[in-house]
Amino acid sequence: MKYLIYCLFLLCLISCQSSREELPPPNILWITSEDNSPFAGCYGDEFATTPNMDALAAEGFLYTHAYANLPVCAPARNTILTGVYANSGGHQHMRSYYDKSGEIGFYPRMMREAGYYTTNNSKEDYNINPEQNENIWDESSNKAHYKNRPEGKPFFAVFNTTISHESSIHNSIPTAELRHKPEDVNLPPYHPDTPEMRHDWAQYYDKIEDMDQKIGELLQELEDSGEAENTIVFYYGDHGGVLARSKRYVYETGTRVPFIVRIPEKYRHLYPAEKPGTHVNRMISFVDLVPTLLSLVGQEIPDYLQGKAFLGEQKTEDPEYAFMLRGRMDERYDMSRSARDAKYRYIRNYMPYRVYGQFLEYLWRAPSIQSWEAAYKAGECNETQSRFWNTKPAEELYDTENDPWEVNNLADDPEYKEVLERMRAATKEWMLEIKDTGFIPEAELIDRTEGTTAYDYMRDSGIDLNALIDGANLASNPRKGDISFLEEMLNEEEAASRYWGATGLLILGEEAEEAAESLRNALSDSSPNVKVVAAEAMYHLGYTEEALKALYEVLETPNSFARTHALNAIDSIEDSAESTQQAVLDMIGMVGEFNRSHYDLRAAKGLLTKWDVDPMDHGYDMNW
């Protein structure tokens, strides 16, 4: 009897395997939306109107812990395209156009090599030199469609909707026309209760509803094509958003995304759980998408890929963490790294001397953040709401189950010491493993990677990344007793170490007075990034003339991101001397015509607006 049962079991396995081999390769449809967190009924949001998303979740598998690795579009999309963390490739800074390494491929080409017809409708914006992503799709335009494929060929198709993009709240819809009423909005605890804040939230929920309708149209189009039963459907948002303290910030509101996968019955062997309608709690993030695609279509996963397949024959064990990061956001420098496990979020802030709410021209187009800033300046914000306008702690730790809006920082609570140390160690291990390029400031990295790429430089140069990370960790949370060590860092041959040494002394403020001579020497450093940080530190110590001279010198350098860094410092020190204004105007004249990569000009425009200086009076038209 046992032998008979074994034989029947074996025959069943062989039959199942045979039927799988006879299956045609599945089509794959990606529907993506921009700038939206899981504001959907299927995620428990009762205020949201998302019938199509909800129906898709009932027919598929809803991922409860899905994350963008960066909380802003272009670097997040870079990670999706390559399967490599943006900070590993040197692409973490918003709208940067650096070359990618020749070792790194693009998933559309991989899918084409696997026999798929690939279409993209139509967002690219991959945060690399655009020449490198030419012709990677069979079609990439607003007319690209899987219906154009050769007969009998499987398709991989992307449709991206911008309906819920941040820009959707820049112009206010009349309140009477809103379908979601401002008075019914449940505001996060960190947002003040202003009319503009309620209005922007309500308008955003309207845009989510409109976006959901577009999802429904795309799904219906697939149904009408007769290909639904042959097609695996993915829906996800490209990062969180969009009201202030979400997009661009490594909190749940900036990184957690809706993520649903629907798999046809004939491919049930690919189900991540027993049956459709199930919630899947596995930690996934965008870096996992390329290996998952290759796993689904039976292709070998290259060793250089940094994510883990969460579907298909090559699916891995569930990971413990998802990792996220923040770099330069348009014209504003900041640097954070984050780890998320099933319960907690850990954040390491490497520029804690900058406030959360740095002015950023594009973000400030929303009426809601303008009203938040006005309420803060009028003294109308409570402690939680005021925090956004203050400098950051070096470390943050949140219990996301009990504190979903992440307002109660547990990093200094002894009860959570073990969690803090565990997640701190995991974050460092990740940064070392992927060879994080972010510990070399952007302008410095540009200068030293001419003729190569940041990814290759980190692997070929022999740079001691472990020492850099240790130095940055100390510098971002220094004690007075660390001054001698920080001064030693200022004298090291490695410019990035000097940068972090200067950073530690800047954070110490007046306590760093004994290091003034070391900082003075750094004002003539060969690295403009070191000069900028040393100048800012010296300015706060009262050596204003020397500090400003160094900053003006950096404004004359040919590296636009060094100039952007200097302008950030000028804004932070609140210096508006006539000589400073003239130095900024002279820089504008030197740069000339504006283009989208000129973040130095965006930063300069912000300063002139702050100083109430009309560039037209000086012959500069900056109405862009």
Read off the CATH number of the domain in which 300 is found: 3.40.720.10
Length of the chain: 624
Q: Do the Cβ atoms of 359 and 393 come closer than 8 Å?
A: no
Residue 2: its pLDDT value, please? 52
Q: Is residue 265 part of a domain?
A: yes
Q: Do the Cβ atoms of 499 and 350 come closer than 8 Å?
A: no
Residue 18: its pLDDT value, please? 46
Other CB atoms within 10 A of residue 157 CB: 28
Q: Is residue 425 part of a domain?
A: no
Q: Do the Cβ atoms of 406 and 398 come closer than 8 Å?
A: yes
- Rounded-to-integer distance, Cα 571 and Cα 123, Å: 34
Whether the model clears a pTM of 0.85, i.e. scores above it, the answer is yes
State whether the Cα torsion 226-229-232-235 is positive or negative. positive
Place of tokens 């400073």: 580
- Beta bridge partners, 118, equal 156
What is the phi/psi pair of residue 237, to 5°? -90, 150
Q: Is residue 466 part of a domain?
A: no
- Rounded-to-integer distance, Cα 234 and Cα 226, Å: 18
Q: Reduced to 3 states, what is the DSSP secondary structure of residue 473? A: helix
Q: Is residue 539 part of a domain?
A: no
- Rounded-to-integer distance, Cα 505 and Cα 488, Å: 12
Look at the chain and report how many structural domains it folds into. 1
Catalytic residue among 7, 12, 42, 73: 73
Tokens at residue 185, please? 């909005």
- Rounded-to-integer distance, Cα 137 and Cα 120, Å: 7
Tokens at residue 230, please? 């042959």
Place of tokens 């395209």: 81
Q: Do the Cβ atoms of 565 and 600 come closer than 8 Å?
A: no
Q: Where are the alpha helices (DSSP H) in 387-439?
A: 417-434
Q: Do the Cβ atoms of 392 and 349 come closer than 8 Å?
A: yes
Distance (Å) of CA 373 to CA 360, 370, 407, 516, 586: 13, 5, 18, 35, 30
Confirm whether 42 is a catalytic residue: no
Q: Is residue 336 part of a domain?
A: no
- Rounded-to-integer distance, Cα 21 and Cα 367, Å: 56
Average pLDDT over the chain, rounded to whole?
Answer: 96
Q: Do the Cβ atoms of 19 and 224 come closer than 8 Å?
A: no
- Rounded-to-integer distance, Cα 109 and Cα 416, Å: 46
Residue 623: its pLDDT value, please? 75
Residue 593: its pLDDT value, please? 75
Place of tokens 């049962």: 5
Q: Is residue 6 part of a domain?
A: no
- Rounded-to-integer distance, Cα 577 and Cα 442, Å: 28
Q: The domain containing residue 190 runs over which residues?
A: 25-320
Residue 10: its pLDDT value, please? 47
State whether the Cα torsion 588-590-592-594 is positive or negative. negative
In 3D space, the residue among 6, 2, 26, 3 whose CA is nearest the CA of residue 14 turns out to be: 6
> From the first residue on, what is the mean pLDDT of each consecutive set of 10 residues in the chain (624 residues)?
50 49 94 98 98 98 98 98 98 96 98 98 96 97 98 97 98 98 98 98 98 98 98 98 97 98 98 98 98 98 98 98 98 98 98 98 97 98 98 98 98 98 98 98 97 98 98 98 98 98 98 98 98 98 98 97 98 97 96 78 94 90 75
Asked, as a colleague might, if the bond just before 122 is cis with ω within 30 of 0, I would say yes
Q: Where are the alpha helices (DSSP H) in 316-416?
A: 367-377, 383-386
Q: Is residue 31 part of a domain?
A: yes
Residue 471: its pLDDT value, please? 98
Residue 16: its pLDDT value, please? 47
Residue 17: its pLDDT value, please? 53
Tokens at residue 507, please? 């954070």
**H or E segment and range at residue 284:** strand 279-285
Q: Is residue 549 part of a domain?
A: no
